[in-house]
């Protein structure tokens, strides 16, 4: 009997559904025992978010500062395949998932084990995934696959629809001209076929080829403009703002209210004004950067994890 472990944290249930659909082929086989492990913070992040709490989570997300999580009861902690499913908060793995990655339990569970990352996000994830890759290696794990489900909405539209989703808790359409928020139901259901690929790779002892198959099935798509935008924003903007906010204390500290509020005003301005300008520059210089862009697409698709790490 092969043991598969699916670790995840989901606020709205979107990622939970993705995880369950991915696991279906394993569930439907008598050769597997499937364990779902829901990472739980001791102090829950309330959902839907209030505006203030949403921005107050920024510094700890960006600086990857863990919160306290409940230890997971995982028996002998010995699994044959691990799926680490996470969402992204401010270009970082969400705080509960990061807290697990940094735990001693993660070191025990990941050691010498094949790991598949499964993301349910809006559209910016490569900076977070680079960090997660590093942590999996530090924990002794072997990353063999990466699957990314994202909102299909265009970037600025997606910011509006995800805000509605995060602040109301609803994924539906809130005005006729906006698409539904979040990841489409078709994509959420379609993830089962990636589960099938993972299962047959595992059974054929072929996990080192899994990512190439996943990429050819479009399990990961790279948008070079978004990659360039998120890398610049994380380094040049996010890290500066997070350091500035942290000088006034930790989560919920009333001392940092002013700085959290200032960031809340700055953030939409930066997205709505700076992002389109960056897009125009990206388009102008893209013909000169074609070789680099091609290399980046290959690298972030992750068809060659060993050299990536």
287 burial level (CB within 10 Å; 0-12, 13-18, 19+): exposed
The secondary structure of 25-46 as a DSSP string is HHHTSTTEEEEEEE--BSS---
What is the CB neighbour count within 10 angstroms for residue 105?
Answer: 16
Question: Could you give phi then psi for residue 106, rounded to 5 degrees?
Answer: -65, -40
Show the tokens assigned to 108: 């025990």
| Smaller CB separation from ligand FMN, 91 or 198 | 91
Distances 294 to 103, 164, 297, 298 between C-alpha atoms, Å: 36, 35, 5, 6
Minimum CB separation from ligand FMN for residue 1, in Å? 30
Chosen residue from 62, 82, 121, 293 binding ligand FMN by CB under 6 A: 121
Report the residue closest to ligand FMN, judged by CB: 12
Minimum CB separation from ligand FMN for residue 201, in Å? 25
Considering only the stretches 10-18, 72-80, 133-141, 284-292, report the one whose residues sit in contact with ligand FMN under the rule CB under 6 A. Answer: 10-18
What letters, b where the CB count within 10 A reaches 16 and e where it falls short, cover 32-48? bebbebebebeeebeee
Chosen residue from 5, 6, 7, 15 binding ligand FMN by CB under 6 A: 15
Chosen residue from 25, 56, 87, 115 binding ligand FMN by CB under 6 A: 87
Count of residues near ligand FMN by CB under 6 A = 20
Minimum CB separation from ligand FMN for residue 209, in Å? 28
Chosen residue from 21, 123, 161, 229 binding ligand FMN by CB under 6 A: 123
Binding site for ligand FMN (CB under 6 A): 10-12, 14-15, 54, 57, 87-91, 120-125, 162, 166
């Amino acid at each position: 009997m092969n043991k598969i472990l699916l670790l995840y944290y989901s606020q709205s249930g979107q990622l939970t559904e993705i995880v369950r659909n991915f696991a279906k082929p394993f569930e439907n086989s008598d050769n597997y025992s499937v364990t779902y492990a829901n990472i739980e913070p001791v102090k829950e992040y309330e959902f839907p978010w209030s505006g203030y709490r949403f921005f107050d989570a920024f510094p700890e997300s960006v600086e990857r500062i863990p919160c306290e999580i409940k230890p997971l009861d995982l028996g002998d902690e010995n699994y044959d395949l691990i799926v680490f499913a996470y969402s992204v908060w401010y270009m970082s793995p969400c705080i509960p998932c990061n807290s697990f990655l940094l735990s001693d339990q993660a070191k025990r569970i990941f050691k010498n084990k094949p790991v598949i990352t499964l993301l349910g996000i809006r559209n910016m994830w490569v900076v977070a995934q680079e960090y997660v890759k590093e942590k999996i290696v530090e924990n002794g794990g072997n990353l063999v696959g990466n699957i990314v489900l994202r909102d299909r909405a265009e970037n600025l539209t997606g910011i509006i629809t995800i805000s509605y989703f995060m602040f109301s808790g609803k994924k539906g359409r809130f005005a006729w001209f906006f698409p539904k928020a979040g990841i489409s139901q078709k994509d959420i259901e379609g993830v089962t076929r990636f589960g099938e690929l993972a299962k047959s790779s595992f059974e054929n002892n072929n996990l080192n080829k899994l990512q190439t198959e996943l990429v050819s099935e479009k399990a990961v798509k790279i948008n070079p403009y978004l990659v360039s935008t998120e890398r610049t924003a994380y380094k040049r903007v996010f890290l500066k703002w997070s350091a500035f906010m942290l000088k006034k204390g930790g989560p919920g500290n009333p001392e940092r209210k002013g700085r959290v509020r200032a960031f809340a005003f700055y953030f939409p301005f930066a997205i709505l004004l700076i992002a389109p300008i960056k897009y125009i520059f990206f388009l102008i210089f893209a013909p000169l950067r074609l070789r680099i862009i091609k290399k980046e697409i290959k690298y972030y698709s992750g068809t060659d994890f060993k050299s990536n790490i």
